[in-house]
Every structure is written in structure tokens, then in C-alpha cells.
Amino acid sequence: MRAITGFERLLQMRVLMDAEAIRQSLDELAERIVASIPDGGDIGLVGIRSRGELVAERLAAGLKQRLNCDFPCGTLDITLYRDDLNVPRGKQQPVVRGTEIDFDINDKVIILVDDVLYTGRSARAAMDALMDLGRPKAIRLAVLVDRGGHEMPIAADFAGRRADIGPHERISVRLTEADGIDQVIVE
Amino acid sequence: MSDNQDKLTWTHKHLLGLKDLSRQEIEFILDTAKGFEEISTRSIKKAPALRGKVVVNLFFEDSTRTRNSFTLAANRLSADVVEFTKKSSSVSKGETLIDTARNLEAMGIDIVVIRHNAGGAAKLLSRHIKACIINAGDGYNEHPTQALLDVYTIRQARGSLDGLKIGIVGDIAHSRVARSNIWAMTKLGAEVTLIGPPTLMPPKVDELPVRVSYNLDAVIEELDVINMLRIQFERLGGNPFPSVREYSHFFGLTVERVARAKPDLMVMHPGPINRGLEIESEVADGPNSVILQQVANGLAVRMAVLFLVNQGAAEQGKER
């Protein structure tokens, strides 16, 4: 098969969510998290590097707006817990950037946040990583997009958007803080 | 953290020295090491990255710091560690280096951390066995993880080595630490001055990217970082200086000399220290000293190196 040119890739690209859709989804996510956790007591948010970190920060802001108090928010690097470390990955080689969680996760309800739920392997790795940091009261999974195709017995407790994206398509979440634009793209 | 990490794919399955690494590769190791610091602050100080891998500490020379640091680093990444020392092995029965390593390899090992009194030993090993090789000191040649933790410590305090003036003082001739330091520091943009008596300067010193000074007092005031090396009496032949007292008088780091240096001079030492010889106790334990910070950082750096060589092996597609 001949290589796909940049222009052809552009033609195959479609926007799954625009900025407004992302904003609405995050609003709904925050609303449902609040509804499911009465009094919002002892919630901590943990985003998976790198886009999950940004989604977590936005969710934390959303929760603050609703409950009028600050929620601790940290970042989890799951590289050391991945199940494909001994597989050549070339340009997709995972890079260690470190976990930054400066609050005690013991006995908290941890909202684990990622941009996309696909195979469930990142969530599996993230749960193992969290368990090495302490013993949370519960772990809930919140994602902006659940694209289906799960390979692990893992489901999102909160998903902003559910979509069936085929295994040959790639989904990428772009957020203003890192990419200059709010957009979810399928290509 | 750093864009540098996005640009590079790590493909080296050995760490033999720093001479042949690029600035970008050295910075990649340092950036990666930063991600490992957090592990040592947890209640469960462990991650499963090297679970099921076997690391052999193959030490033909004495070491406490480096060996323990590698053992702990490997343990924290969940690898199994086999300790090998010269005294309790078949080496004392006449077995060669390569035979020893091949026998270890037949047991199914993944990473060899080697220290040997012959320069080039690590490289030699890398040509004969399939495992990843990490040089933990070979003769007078290199001691890459020591230099990495040194530059890591400087970067941690100063952000960057660019433009820093660094003095390396003492027994340069017999120091693999100095050699690895020179490569790492100059590649990262520092200006390195070697300081010591002419008898302790290495041959062909003029071919190294450094300045040489035989007078510590003449340069102490301009230095940002000073790395004090131990006099390696076990390697010295002849009489490189008239007496220990005279060496100490001219090249020892005293309170008085530190007082004349920049107030934020970083005082480093790779250990073990000979208190009162190359460095006064008050200086070694004083506010300018980062000696224990170096040891702490050594753990994160070695975790990163163990992790990366394994990743490099995976990239090379070698099923081990």
C-alpha cells in the first residue's frame, strides 16, 4: 500500500467534538460526579499523563464551581506500570516524566481521569500505580471519550461522550493548554 | 517537563561511557531520572518496570556506594539482583572475564552492571554477550553513572550547566570519575578546569576539552562548582607529591579557600572522602556541600539508566 499523504490524511480527518461540545461534556461530567458523591467529601482527582492531566484540571475547576471548595488534583505517570515495556515502540516509545501527586490518597475517593478510554490497559496500569501510593477508599474512572474496543474488564464510571471508533482509526484529544485548540479528532 | 524527551527515541542497550553520547542523549537520561525521584518518596518504594528481569552486579573491584546504589535501584524497579564479587567467585580460580560473563548469561540474565580494573572491560563484554551492559567504572576510563549523577545534582541546583565554571581537583590521572565528568560537563555547556599537581594530570591532557591549572588558589574565586577527587593511593605508583601534608596545603579544600570563593560555590565529592586530606570536615559537612545530595540523586539516575537500557534492548527487538 502506498503511503498516505498529509492532504489525504486531512480529508480522512473528522471532528468528533468541537470546543463547545468539549465544554458541555466536561460540565456534564462534573455534574454527574457531584451527583454521585454526596457532599463531595474526600474527592481527589488524578489525571493520567499527559492529556488526562489537563482534563483532570478542568474537572477540578468544574467541581470547585459547583461545591465551592478546592479539590486536590495530581498527575500520574503510568509508564513504569505499562504492560508493553518490552515491546519495541519506536517513535511512540513511552517516556518517564514522573508522578506528581502531593496529597494523601489514603481513604479518598479518587477520580481517575483520562482523555480517552480505549483498550483499558492504561486504566489497569493507573490502578496499579495508585495502589503503590496508598489505599484509596474507591477509584472511579472518568474520561472525556469512551471509544469502545475495551480489552480489559474495565468500564468508565463517567464518560463525556461514547462513540464506536474502529480499531484502524486514531482518536486524538487536543486541548488549548497544550495544543492551542479544543478539539477531538478522528483520523 | 522537557521537549527533548519527545524528540528522541532511546535505542541504546548499553551504557559504556559518556564520551560517545550526544548532549541530547545525556539530557534525555537526566530528564528521565527526574521522573524516578518520586518513587523513593513513597511508602511503597517500588515500581514493576523491570519485573522478571535479572540484574547482575559484576564487581571486580571494591565498591560500597555504587554497588549498593545499583542494587537498590534495581530492587526499586522490581528486578532480581545477583551479587557477584571477585573474592567469592571462580575468578580467584583463574576464570577469564568473558567466561565468567558467559556463564552468568547461561543462567538467563538481562543486565550486567560491571566494574573492572581494566579500561574497556565493559565494552569488551558488550561484544561477547547479549545482555545489556552498564559500566560502573572501568580502569581509568569512565564511570558514567557517577558523572550523570554529578551533572544531575548541578542541574537540580542551577537549572543548567551552560556557562558554569567547574573545577575538578586532585588525582585526575587515575580518575575515571574525572574523565566521565569532563565529557558530561563540557557536552552540557560548562567550562571545565582540571586542577592538581602536574604529576597527577593524565597523559595527553591537552587533547581534552579542558583548561589545566596547577594552582587552586589562582582559580578558586571564579568557580561555580568544585568537584574534589580522592587521592587514590591504591592506584598511585612512585611519589606524585612530596607528602600528604603538602598536597593538602596546596590542593585541599579548606574553610579559608571556600571563604574566598563565590558564596554559592557547590562543593562536590564522589566519595569516599578522606577527611582532612582533599577536603576539610567543616567544608564536607558545610552549607556549600551537596555530597549527600549526590548520593541520593545517584539512586534516581541509576534507576533511569537501568530502565533505559532495558527499553533500548526492547527497541532493538532482542527477545531476551
> pLDDT value at position A8?
62
- Of B66, B46, B74, B36, the residue nearest B295 (C-alpha): B66
The pLDDT mean for chain A works out to 92
Each residue's pLDDT tens digit, B72-98: 999 999 999 999 887 766 666 677 888
Each residue's pLDDT tens digit, A67-84: 888 999 999 999 999 999
List Cβ neighbours of B281 (8 Å cut-off, separation of 6 or more): B275
Q: Do A97 and B5 touch (CB under 8 A)?
A: yes
Asked whether the beta carbons of B108 and B130 are under 8 A apart, the reply is no
For B43, name the nearest residue in chain A, comparing CA atoms only: A133
Collapsing DSSP to helix, strand or coil, B140 comes out as coil
> pLDDT value at position B173?
93
Distance of alpha carbon A87 from alpha carbon A182, whole angstroms: 32
Q: Grid cell 607529591 — which residue?
A: B241
For B8, name the nearest residue in chain A, comparing CA atoms only: A91
Of A86, A98, A133, the CB nearest to B35: A98
Asked whether the beta carbons of B230 and B168 are under 8 A apart, the reply is no
Q: Do B6 and A93 touch (CB under 8 A)?
A: no
- Shortest CA gap B50–chain A (Å): 8
pLDDT reading at B25 higher than 80: yes
Query: What residues of chain A lie within 8 A of the CB of B1, using their CB?
Result: 97-98
Cell of A60: 477540578
Each residue's pLDDT tens digit, B257-274: 999 999 999 999 999 999
H-helix segments, chain B: 4-7, 23-36, 65-76, 97-106, 121-128, 144-158, 176-187, 216-219, 244-251, 255-260, 281-284, 291-315
Domains annotated on chain B, with CATH: 4-143+296-315 (3.40.50.1370), 145-294 (3.40.50.1370)
Number of A to B CB contacts under 8 A, please give it.
65
Of B1, B5, B47, the CB nearest to A80: B47
Query: What residues of chain B lie within 8 A of the CB of A105, using their CB?
Result: none
Q: Do A93 and B10 touch (CB under 8 A)?
A: yes
List Cβ neighbours of B20 (8 Å cut-off, separation of 6 or more): none
Of A86, A97, A129, the CB nearest to B35: A97
- Shortest CA gap B196–chain A (Å): 39
- Across the range B297-306, mean pLDDT stands at 98
Each residue's pLDDT tens digit, A114-147: 999 999 999 999 999 999 999 999 999 999 999 9
Query: What residues of chain B lie within 8 A of the CB of A86, using their CB?
Result: 310, 314
Domains annotated on chain A, with CATH: 14-84+95-186 (3.40.50.2020)
Distance of alpha carbon A46 from alpha carbon A98, whole angstroms: 13
Of A77, A87, A99, the CB nearest to B314: A87
Q: Do B49 and A85 touch (CB under 8 A)?
A: yes
Asked whether the beta carbons of B151 and B185 are under 8 A apart, the reply is yes
In the sheet with B111-116, reading across from the earlier edge strand, the strands are B80-85, B54-59, B111-116, B132-138
The DSSP element (H or E) to which B163 belongs, if any, is none
Share above pLDDT 90 across residues of chain A, in percent, rounded to a whole number: 80
Burial of A92-110, coded b for 16+ CB within 10 Å and e otherwise, reads ebebbbbbbbeeebeebbb
* A89: DSSP letter: -
